[in-house]
Chains A and B, each alone.
Chain A
Amino acid sequence: MSGDASKTLSNDVLWGGGRSPFSVSYGKLMIWFFLVSDALTFSGLLVSYGFARHSLLPGVTWPVGEEVFSKVPGFSAHLPLMYVALMTFILIISSVTMVLAVEAGHRMDKKGVVKWLFLTIIGGLFFVSSQAFEWSHFIHGSHARVALADGRTAYLDENPEGDAKIDPATFAMHLGSVHGEEVSGPEAYKLFQNAVHVTYGANMTENEYGPTSYANFFFFITGFHGFHVFSGVVINFIVLMMVIRGVFQRRGHYEMVEKVGLYWHFVDLVWVFVFTFFYLV
């Protein structure tokens, strides 16, 4: 079948503008298409999170971000949201170093691109390892939920570290909520020993902080985003190697840095929304 390519078409039906309406290269247009589709995936996840939160059963409360995420590695104090704020800040700064790498590329400044791209990778690695800490904090939990034999709910004052056993001498728990009335001593420990069920931390089937779906959404959304950051770091690293080898200097332009930059900014953009809807609102 002969297509349009083999026929000589009249210039009247061809577009004679000289420049395309978008005026961007094929690669840049395609990375934008990819980002839009990826943005739709993340929107779907966050919107379904909103749906789960708005359709709660009566009597069920959704966990509060600043109470769940209140630890900073190396500090034992209660520092709500501080570490996740630092993570957010680092990711924004790594986005800034990326845009500076793109700017240096536009000036054909190879040294500048190497410097800023390297700093971007460092920021990304810091973010991914911080997310590992957040996950381990979340999985380990802080106030185990105890279903007492008489039907009441209590929360441990503090979860035991690692494999440590609970010490009856310092045992304390709070009735009703994490801030509820404190009970301690041998009687409270006896109540605890006779408990129907104790939920330590969070996993895919139960969660000391509240509804199971909260933990599921947390693992899926931050995990999916964390994997994006991880693959972004890998791609940035590959491009950094190509920059160092002078591939783009020979090619005459640093558009590849711009394209991976778009992906990296997108990852930052998604985190801005995850931060708001998971930790703040």
Chain B
Amino acid sequence: MERDDIIEYSLDAGHSEEEGRIIRKKILFVTILLSVITTCEVLLGVFWRNWMPGSWHWVKWTFIVLTLVKATYIVMSFMHLGDERRNIRSMILLPYALFLLYLIFIAIWEGNFIHETVTHFL
């Protein structure tokens, strides 16, 4: 019986000079993308009052969406989760996402509820 827990996956992880060039090109693309997004975020944070006054709601959601785009690129490209098997990807991301969506929902909902309650009844 072959035991699969002693397979040396690590020895298999290498790549050639040619593959390295392609990977570095991808890294450069992600670097530029992350820098551009961060610059946009900072400019929006400083100047949104001059550019589109009164639209804080939209600015806020723009920040959140841009952050999620950045996070996706870091996890999928830099952490190589996009190159792993679907099994390990799902095992890491799905339970975490499910739990976190619930946690965010319940905390923000309850927070708003407490704010409304103390505003109207205190």
Please give the residue numbers on chain A whose beta carbons come within 8 Å of chain B beta carbons, in ascending order.
11, 14-15, 17-26, 28-29, 32, 36, 39-40, 43-44, 47-48, 50-58, 65-66, 80-82, 85, 88-89, 92-93, 95-96, 98-100, 103, 106-108, 252-253, 255, 258, 262, 265-266, 268-269, 272-273, 275-276, 279-281
Which residues of chain A come closer than 8 Å to B60, judged between CB atoms?
Answer: 281
Interface centre among A21, A40, A51 (most CB of B within 10 A): A51
Partner of B14, one of A56, A65, A108, A279: A108
Q: How far is the CB of A279 from chain B (nearest CB, A)?
A: 7
CB pairs A–B below 8 angstroms (24 shown): A11-B1, A18-B2, A19-B4, A40-B99, A48-B107, A50-B108, A50-B111, A52-B111, A54-B112, A55-B113, A57-B115, A92-B34, A95-B74, A96-B78, A98-B78, A106-B15, A252-B11, A266-B79, A269-B71, A269-B75, A273-B67, A276-B66, A280-B44, A280-B45
Q: How far is the CB of A97 from chain B (nearest CB, A)?
A: 10
Cα-based distance from A68 to B92 in the complex (angstroms): 36
Given A57-B118, A66-B45, check contact A103 B23 (CB 8 Å): yes
Give the interface SS of chain B, mostly helix, strand, loop or mixed.
helix
CB within 8 Å of A: which B67-122 residues: 67, 70-71, 74-75, 77-80, 84-85, 87-88, 91-92, 96, 99-100, 103-104, 107-108, 110-115, 118-119, 122
